[in-house]
């Protein structure tokens, strides 16, 4: 007899649910998970090998539980690029920003508490909420995918959430949220509870605008979360981090597993941070390619949401999933996030983007024929 999930005594809220699952298909052009298309430059690969070799000699010992050297370097990077000075005490790191978000929800959410996001947005916020026993509230977004301050503050006032997620630039739509809007939602959230506001800046390095990092000053309930998965081209590394008031960093340590960041992860991330300038040059290329995708998709006749990220949302389609399949039939994998009428394509190398543009150009011609 085969035992299935529902035969096990799993928690009620997990019954009948599906895990996170962007398809990992083996096709020539993969533009579906917002990864950086460039592999790491060879000198960095060498440096990682060197630092990991050093770390390997001490693998009989537990790693630095507080990741002091790594957090110090992350603070330096944030100070240099984020328009605001932060130190070790303001920064916390974990295995991907997904783990940072999980720790935040374990600390500030949990059973009997609620979190809100403005959807469509990053689906993992809701999934991690569920995993931590936090009730999830789907807040509103306008038809143009911007956050309407009035509707959003009303949702906060009505639901009194314990945690508010604001993703900017937003995934999967690509558009950024202004500092004014974030401040308005922060004020609404403080009036209601007060609650924690998490600004997810996974894509901020690709933005036309500035980081909202300076907003943490004087706002102890505001957290900015970041990742090395996108701009740093290191999705396989699993390194995310946050910047906030020192008390927030102290608080998440109540829930983190001891030695959660392996010595190998810390060594690899430190090597990558030594090569920040090179990595940020790739970001400039990707920004140019992103802008080209927006321009060309509009020229072909598609609707495109303004993008501050390394991906572009395009539409509109009566049946987005069929279009997704037809693009895949041409060897290009894009993402169907389930936003009715829209698909998302990550900016790849110029050649990959050309292949994608050729595919959607053909589709448009067939449609018009
Ligand atoms: C990709 C992404 C992340 C990154 O998750 P990691 O765990 O750091 O790889 C976080 N937030 C958003 C909105 C994302 O799109």
User: Tens digits of per-residue pLDDT, 275-288?
Assistant: 999 999 999 999 99
pLDDT given for residue 367 in this prediction: 80
6's tokens:
């529902």
Q: Tell which one of 230, 307, 344 to mutate to probe ligand 1, the residue whose CB is within 8 A of the most ligand atoms.
A: 230
pLDDT given for residue 30 in this prediction: 95
CA of 1 to the centre of ligand 1 (A): 39
Let me know: does 105 contact 129? Beta carbons within 8 Å. yes
Pocket of ligand 1 contains residue 98 by CB under 6 Å: yes
Mean of per-residue pLDDT scores for the chain: 95
User: Tens digits of per-residue pLDDT, 9-52?
Assistant: 999 888 888 887 777 788 999 999 999 999 899 999 999 999 99
pTM, entire model: 0.95
Q: What is the mean pLDDT of residues 168-176?
A: 97
> Taking the CA of residue 193 as centre, how many other CA atoms within 13 Å lie in the half-sphere pointing to its CB?
24
Alpha carbon distances (Å) from 329 to 190, 315, 321, 333, 360: 49, 18, 12, 9, 11
User: Tens digits of per-residue pLDDT, 86-143?
Assistant: 999 999 999 999 999 999 999 999 999 999 999 999 999 999 999 999 999 999 999 9
Burial class (CB in 10 A: 0-12, 13-18, 19+), 284: exposed
pLDDT given for residue 315 in this prediction: 95
Burial class (CB in 10 A: 0-12, 13-18, 19+), 85: middle
pLDDT given for residue 194 in this prediction: 87
pLDDT given for residue 14 in this prediction: 86
CA of 98 to the centre of ligand 1 (A): 6
**Cβ-based neighbours of 24, under 8 Å, separated by 6 or more:** none
User: Tens digits of per-residue pLDDT, 199-252?
Assistant: 999 999 999 999 999 999 999 999 999 999 999 999 999 999 999 999 999 999
Pocket of ligand 1 contains residue 171 by CB under 6 Å: yes
Cα gap 201→97, rounded to integer Å: 10
22: which DSSP letter? -
285's tokens:
């290329």
Q: Which helix (H) or strand (E) holds 242?
A: strand 240-243
Pocket of ligand 1 contains residue 97 by CB under 6 Å: yes
If one counts every other C-beta atom within 10 angstroms of the C-beta of residue 64, the result is: 14
pLDDT given for residue 17 in this prediction: 83
């Amino acid at each position: 007899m085969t035992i299935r999930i529902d035969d096990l005594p799993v928690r009620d809220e997990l019954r009948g649910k599906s895990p996170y699952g962007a398809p990992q298909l083996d096709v020539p052009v993969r533009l579906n998970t917002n990864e950086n298309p460039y592999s790491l430059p060879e000198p960095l690969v060498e440096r990682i090998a060197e630092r990991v070799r050093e770390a390997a000699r001490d693998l009989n010992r537990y790693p630095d539980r507080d990741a002091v050297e790594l957090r110090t370097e992350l603070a330096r990077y944030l100070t240099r690029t984020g328009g605001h000075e932060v130190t070790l005490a303001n920064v916390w790191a974990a295995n991907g920003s997904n783990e940072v978000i999980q720790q935040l929800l374990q600390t500030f959410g949990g059973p009997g508490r609620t979190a809100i996001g403005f959807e469509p947005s990053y689906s993992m916020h809701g999934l991690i909420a569920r995993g931590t026993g936090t009730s999830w509230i789907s807040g509103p977004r306008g038809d143009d995918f911007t956050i309407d301050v009035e509707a959003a503050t009303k949702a906060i006032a009505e639901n009194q959430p314990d945690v508010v997620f604001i993703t900017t630039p937003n995934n999967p739509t690509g558009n950024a949220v202004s500092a004014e809007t974030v401040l308005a939602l922060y004020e609404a959230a403080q009036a209601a509870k007060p609650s924690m506001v998490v600004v997810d800046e996974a894509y901020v390095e690709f933005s036309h605008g500035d980081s909202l990092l300076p907003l943490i000053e004087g706002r102890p309930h505001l957290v900015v979360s970041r990742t090395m998965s996108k701009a740093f081209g290191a999705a396989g590394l699993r390194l995310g981090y946050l910047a906030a008031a020192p008390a927030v960093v102290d608080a998440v340590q109540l829930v983190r597993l001891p030695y959660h960041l392996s010595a190998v992860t810390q060594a690899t991330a430190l090597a990558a941070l030594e090569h920040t300038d090179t990595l940020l040059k790739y970001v400039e290329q990707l920004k140019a390619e992103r802008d080209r995708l927006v321009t060309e998709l509009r020229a072909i006749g598609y609707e495109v949401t303004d993008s501050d990220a390394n991906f572009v949302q395009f539409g509109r389609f009566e049946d987005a999933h069929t279009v997704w399949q037809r693009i895949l039939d041409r060897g290009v994998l894009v993402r169907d996030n389930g936003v009715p009428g829209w698909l998302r394509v990550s900016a790849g190398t110029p050649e990959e983007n050309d292949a994608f543009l050729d595919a959607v150009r053909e589709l448009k011609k067939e449609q018009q024929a």
